[in-house]
């Protein structure tokens, strides 16, 4: 079964502290993994995708196939990072492109 | 740049009524996805269309139907509404070589 798990509903850190939002997945194949972010009262936006291996707004995420994880990291959190973060999976066999989302983690960065 | 447009943004209906949600994709995007996000839940894939044909189907109740029109906009029709249908309904569009862009969502409240 295809599944994405984000074990933390809420992650609260102080400004300048490191952040790691956890994401684990279950998929029998080679999935594509994404991180989406939703700022307050805004729409879901793509933050990162694993195939790009890029850093956006200081965030990075590495796909670990052995641990089936795609954790999102940032070395120094900023207050403007406060948002809801969703990890999502797209199956490699899915030519329709549908996404399977995790439950989401609310990141709260305190001043 | 034009984004995905959804209308209405908010909708209040009584039980057993019908509702129609509309989605206008980004120009030149040929694929539309519908997702349902219940309170405190992750977005769940409902249905998708590619070039006006249904391309995939998820956990969409039989009471719901959808279609994509010649101008690529899509409508989600919901009949015999139930209290449990209260949710945020996201539409996303996708073009060739680009990822899904999400609309702001329609918040449906069934009383």
pLDDT value of residue B85:
97
CB pairs under 8 A between A and B: 52
In chain B, which residue's Cα lies nearest the Cα of A48? B99
In this prediction, residues A79-83 reach a mean pLDDT of 97
Of B48, B55, B90, the CB nearest to A44: B90
pLDDT value of residue B33:
96
β-bridge mates for residue A73, sequence order? A20, A60
Of A6-15, A41-50, B28-37, B75-84, the range with the lowest mean pLDDT is A41-50
Say yes or no to pLDDT of A75 above 90: yes
Q: How far is B83 from chain A (nearest CA, A)?
A: 22
Instruction: Assign A51 a pLDDT band (cuts: 50, 70, 90).
Output: confident
Q: Please answer whether residues A77 and A13 qualify as being in contact, where contact means their C-beta atoms are separated by less than 8 angstroms.
A: yes
pLDDT value of residue A53:
75
Matching residue, tokens 């030519």:
A95
Is some CB atom of chain B closer than 8 A to the CB atom of A97?
A: yes
Q: How far is A92 from chain B (nearest CA, A)?
A: 14
Instruction: Return the higher-pLDDT residue of A96 and A34.
Output: A34
Interface test with A, best of B10, B24, B42, B53 (most A CBs within 10 A): B42
Judged by CB atoms closer than 8 Å, whether chains meet at B45 and A103 is answered as no
In this prediction, residues B65-75 reach a mean pLDDT of 95
pLDDT value of residue A96:
74
B86 sits in the region (left: phi over 0; alpha: psi -120 to 50; else beta) called beta
pLDDT value of residue A95:
65
Of B35, B100, B105, the CB nearest to A97: B100
Cβ-proximal residues to B19 (8 Å cutoff; 6+ apart), any chain: B11, B13, B77, B78, B81, B108
Percentage of residues of chain A with pLDDT beyond 70: 96
Tell me which residue of B109, B52, B53, B102 sits closest to B78, measured CA to CA: B109
Which residues on A lie below 8 Å from B34 (Cβ)? Answer: none
Q: How far is CA A72 from CA A13, A36, A43, A55, B39, in A?
A: 14, 11, 20, 10, 24
């Amino acid at each position: 079964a295809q599944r994405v798990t984000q074990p933390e509903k809420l992650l609260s850190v102080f400004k300048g502290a490191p952040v790691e939002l956890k994401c684990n997945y279950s998929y029998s194949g080679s999935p594509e993994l994404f991180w989406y972010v939703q700022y307050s009262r805004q729409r879901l936006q793509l933050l990162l995708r694993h195939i790009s291996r890029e850093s956006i707004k200081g965030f990075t995420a590495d796909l670990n196939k052995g641990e089936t994880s795609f954790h999102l990291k940032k070395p120094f959190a900023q207050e403007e990072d406060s948002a809801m973060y969703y990890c999502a999976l797209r199956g490699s066999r899915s030519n329709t492109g549908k996404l399977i989302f995790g439950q989401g983690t609310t990141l709260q960065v305190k001043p | 740049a034009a984004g995905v447009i959804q209308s209405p943004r908010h909708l209040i209906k009584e039980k057993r009524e019908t509702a129609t949600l509309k989605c206008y994709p980004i120009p030149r995007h040929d694929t539309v996805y519908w997702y349902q996000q219940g309170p405190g839940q992750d977005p769940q894939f409902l249905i998708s269309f590619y070039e006006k044909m249904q391309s995939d189907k998820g956990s969409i109740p039989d009471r719901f139907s959808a279609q994509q029109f010649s101008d690529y906009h899509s409508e989600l029709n919901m009949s015999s509404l139930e209290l449990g249908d209260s949710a945020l309904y996201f539409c996303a569009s996708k073009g060739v070589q680009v990822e899904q862009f999400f609309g702001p969502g329609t918040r449906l409240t069934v009383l």
